[in-house]
Amino acid sequence: MYKFNNGDRYLVTGASSGIGRQVCMHLLQAGAEVVALGRNELSLQSLTDSALRPEQFAYHLVDFSQSTNQLGDIITELAKRYGKFSGAVLAAGTHNLSPLKTLNIDHFRKTLEINLLSNIAIVQGLCRKNHNIGQGASIVVISSIAARRSDKGALEYSASKAALETAMRCIASEVASKGVRINCIAPGFVQTPMLEKMPVYSPDFLKKLEQDHPLGLGTVKNISQPVMFLLSADSSWITGTTMIVDGGYSLA
């Protein structure tokens, strides 16, 4: 169990659901402060119950498809209000299956806005000259195993995640001298609302996924554990990398 101190403050996006929500609960249980971003207020509000002390948790409603240009300023405002961040976990993301034949470029642009550009804008905001993030900070970005696969119909999602990993590696080399680390985690399939919303979701699809993951289908805890490692000082010599956490999915 990782332990964080009062004043260890983390920004978490996608905090209202799935992996981001589990990361918030894990951080709160470990004593860290969390400033959560998401769209679903009811779900964000219910995270308050996981806080050990009331000042440990705050949330803000932001829709990344509407506000990419403002995200840097939003981060500065949050850092002014709550204090510098010790790091961030960027878990917000959207998934869409669309073969080339029916690909809609405007929709693709929206996916890039959420999965790629918003994350870059947030990291830019965190790393601004006025130090919204502290020395020794760690940023963990949730990519996907899809970044290195070529599944039919997945081009929108896969391309957005591959670009995300490349962008984060470039940024990692720029900010290392400021003592800021940035790493990605690329999960295999994890049981979350994102998976359940896939049009192909069915008992047979689930069974096939179980078979394709030698260690079984992922749980949100399977992802939040390595997130905690990458946030902690135990990973202080790791930056610019992607950790594949996929239960052996990519062995096949």
Ligand X SMILES: NC(=O)c1ccc[n+]([C@@H]2O[C@H](COP(=O)([O-])OP(=O)(O)OC[C@H]3O[C@@H](n4cnc5c(N)ncnc54)[C@H](OP(=O)(O)O)[C@@H]3O)[C@@H](O)[C@H]2O)c1
**C-alpha span between 26 and 177 (Å, rounded):** 29
Residue nearer to ligand X on the CB measure, 175 or 223: 223
Nearest approach, Cβ of residue 129 and ligand X (Å): 26
Residue nearer to ligand X on the CB measure, 176 or 251: 251
Residue 7 interacting with ligand X (CB under 6 A): no
By DSSP bridging, strand 242-245 and strand 181-187 are parallel
**C-alpha span between 125 and 252 (Å, rounded):** 39
Judged by CB under 6 A, the number of residues near ligand X is 28
**C-alpha span between 161 and 156 (Å, rounded):** 9
Q: Would you tell me how many other CB atoms lie within 10 Å of the CB of residue 104? A: 11
Nearest approach, Cβ of residue 173 and ligand X (Å): 23
Instruction: Tell which one of 75, 194, 243, 245 touches ligand X (CB under 6 A).
Output: 194
Nearest approach, Cβ of residue 61 and ligand X (Å): 8
Residue 128 interacting with ligand X (CB under 6 A): no
Residue 94 interacting with ligand X (CB under 6 A): yes
Nearest approach, Cβ of residue 31 and ligand X (Å): 23
Residue nearer to ligand X on the CB measure, 37 or 134: 37
Residue 18 interacting with ligand X (CB under 6 A): yes
Instruction: Tell which one of 4, 9, 10, 16 touches ligand X (CB under 6 A).
Output: 16
Do residues 59 and 66 lie in contact, with contact meaning Cβ atoms separated by under 8 Å?
A: no
Residue 35 interacting with ligand X (CB under 6 A): no
CA angle at 178 for the pair 177 and 184, rounded to the nearest 5°:
85
Closest CA to 144 of 117, 121, 167, 163: 163
- Structure tokens, 182: 């940035």
- Contact partners, residue 122, CB within 8 Å, separation at least 6: 11, 13, 71, 72, 75, 88, 90
**C-alpha span between 211 and 209 (Å, rounded):** 5
Residue 187 interacting with ligand X (CB under 6 A): yes
Q: Rounded to 5 degrees, what are φ and ψ at 105?
A: -65, -35
Site string for ligand X, 143-182 (x = CB under 6 A): -x--------------------------------------
Residue 65 interacting with ligand X (CB under 6 A): yes
Nearest approach, Cβ of residue 90 and ligand X (Å): 8
Do residues 246 and 252 lie in contact, with contact meaning Cβ atoms separated by under 8 Å?
A: no
Do residues 33 and 51 lie in contact, with contact meaning Cβ atoms separated by under 8 Å?
A: no
Residue 93 interacting with ligand X (CB under 6 A): yes
Element housing 226 (H / E): helix 220-231
Residue 247 interacting with ligand X (CB under 6 A): no
Residue 20 interacting with ligand X (CB under 6 A): yes
Contact residues toward ligand X (CB under 6 A) are: 14, 16-20, 38-40, 62-65, 91-95, 114, 142, 144, 187, 189-190, 192-195
